[in-house]
Amino acid sequence: MAKLRYRFHSLEFGDTDIHLRTLRDNQQFDDPAGLAEQLGISSSSWPMFGVLYAAGEVLARTMQDYDIRGLRILEVGCGIGLSSHVLNQRLADITASDYHPEAEVFLQYNARLNNSRPIPFFRSAWGDSSVGIAKFDLIIGSDLLYQPDHAGMLSGFINQHAKPASRVIIVDPQRGNGASFCRHMNDFEFAHTRTRHEKSDAMTQAFKGHVLNFSRS
């Protein structure tokens, strides 16, 4: 099996630089113990967690100056976790979650790369029980709605982990499942607004899509 190849990024967020080690591209694969295979993660989807996407950067830049006072925050489907690192640098109460068995390894490596504290993490599928996990005031995520059934699964996961009064921010690059997700969230009494991302010189990648903001009180 070929050795994994990496790419290093430095992204500016105001006066703060965030450094990331990501996979070099989406052609990487390394599952010698077969753990990912046991979890149903194919060789083609294996590297998707470890690449930096435009939607993830949009979410991170949204978190750059978001009012985090008093909020317990969860990044769901964190992948490479750029938003978690931005929030960690701001000393937010941030927890990250992903299903991929290597996500936490990359998350903590990059926390050390940024000379910051470890980021609390739990690995979970969207259908897993939330027993023992505290509820969150704000849940964030980006580019999560790949398949039609993801709308119901993700909304259910969010409802399990969100406080009765809570907010949710999902960056959606419009893969066709956003409207269904909004309907499912409405079933859990979340009202929402949809805004188109404004082009910014700070972005390192082009992005066409929406930011979905949900609230429940």
Measured CA to CA, the distance from residue 157 to residue 137 in angstroms comes to 14
From the centroid of its chain, how far is CA 37?
A: 22
Residue 133 located in a structural domain: yes
Q: Summarize pLDDT for 36-52 with one digit per residue, the tens.
A: 999 999 999 999 999 99
User: Given pLDDT bands bounded at 50, 70 and 90, which one contains residue 80?
Assistant: very high
Q: How far is CA 40 from the centre of its chain?
A: 20
> What CATH number is attached to the domain comprising 38?
3.40.50.150
Q: Which two tokens stand for residue 105?
A: 């390894």
> Does some domain include residue 180?
yes
In a domain, residue 183? The reply is yes
With beta carbons less than 8 A apart as the criterion, state whether 156 and 126 touch.
Answer: yes
Alpha helices in 162-214 (DSSP H): 178-187
- The per-residue DSSP string of 93-158 comes to EEEEEESSTTHHHHHHHHHHHTT-PPPPEEE--TTS--TT---EEEEEEES---STTHHHHHHHHH
Distance CA 26, CA 44 (A): 8
Asked if the structure places residue 90 within a domain, the reply is yes
CA dist 166 and 71 (Å) reads 9
- Quick: pLDDT tens for 89-130: 999 999 999 999 999 999 999 999 999 999 999 999 999 887
Q: Which of 140, 200, 151, 141 is nearest to 175 (CA)?
A: 151
pLDDT in tens, 177-213: 999 999 999 999 999 999 988 778 889 999 999 999 9
Helix (H) and strand (E) counts in the chain: 6, 9
Number of residues assigned to the chain: 217
Does 1 fall in a domain?
Answer: no
What's residue 161's pLDDT? 96
State which residues form the domain around 75.
6-216
Residue 2: band (very low, low, confident or very high) from pLDDT cuts 50, 70, 90? low
Residue 83 pLDDT exceeds 60: yes
Using alpha carbons only, give the angle 22, 26, 30 rounded to the nearest 5 degrees. Answer: 75
Report field, pTM of the whole predicted structure over 0.85: yes
Answer whether residue 11 is part of any domain: yes
The answer to the question of residue 166 being in a domain is yes
pLDDT in the model for residue 50: 97
Domain count, the chain: 1
Q: Cβ-count burial of 80 within 10 angstroms (0-12 exposed, 13-18 middle, 19+ buried)?
A: buried
Query: Does the residue 56 lie in any domain?
Result: yes
* Per-residue pLDDT at 133: 85
